[in-house]
Amino acid sequence: MAGTKLKYRPMTVRDIPQVQLVEGKCFKTPWSRNIFLGEVTRNDNAFYVVAVQQERVIGFAGIWVVVDEGHITNIAVDPSFQRQGIGQGLMQEIITYALSRGVSRLTLEVRLSNQAAQALYTKLGFAASGIRREYYQDDKEDALIMWRELSEEWTNFGN
């Protein structure tokens, strides 16, 4: 799909089937349609963004904002589009949204075995702060907890 423009926009209910396709390619235990539907339509603390190329959703990310903290809930990029900066672009969209809502700190959990994601988060200024034992229910893998302090000046991160 070289030469086609990638765009980021808020996730809608109509995106859910394509988001589920990406989710299914990336995770052993993908979220159900009802979970995504609830996040997009009923969770006032949630914001989700999609990366779209030629009307195809190729990635997505979500965050919950509670007071001044943001919890990144989910991020995935279709494996055939990984390592092209799309994950970083999705994170930029989430962080821009978080800053607009007064968020001062972001957190996320990532599988201990997911070195590629950890490298991206570290590049974006996240730091490891602990372990959640047996966090992932499918295989009881531990999660690394990562945090990032935000500031209004943090607009050119990761470079």
Q: What CATH number did the domain enclosing 99 receive?
A: 3.40.630.30
- Token output for 153: 């000046």
In a domain, 81, yes or no: yes
What CA dihedral angle connects 134, 140, 141 and 144, to 10 degrees?
-30
Looking at this protein, which amino acid is placed at residue 57? V
pTM for this prediction: 0.89
In a domain, 156, yes or no: no
In a domain, 114, yes or no: yes
pLDDT means over runs of 10, the chain (159 residues):
78 97 92 95 97 96 96 95 93 94 95 91 93 84 92 53
Burial label for 114, CB within 10 Å (0-12, 13-18, 19+), is middle
Residue 159 is predicted with a pLDDT of: 43
- What positions carry a catalytic annotation? 109, 121
In a domain, 47, yes or no: yes
Contact present, 105 and 89 (Cβ < 8 Å): no
In a domain, 155, yes or no: no
Residue 29 is predicted with a pLDDT of: 86
Range of the domain at 103: 6-149
**Count of the separate structural domains present in the chain:** 1
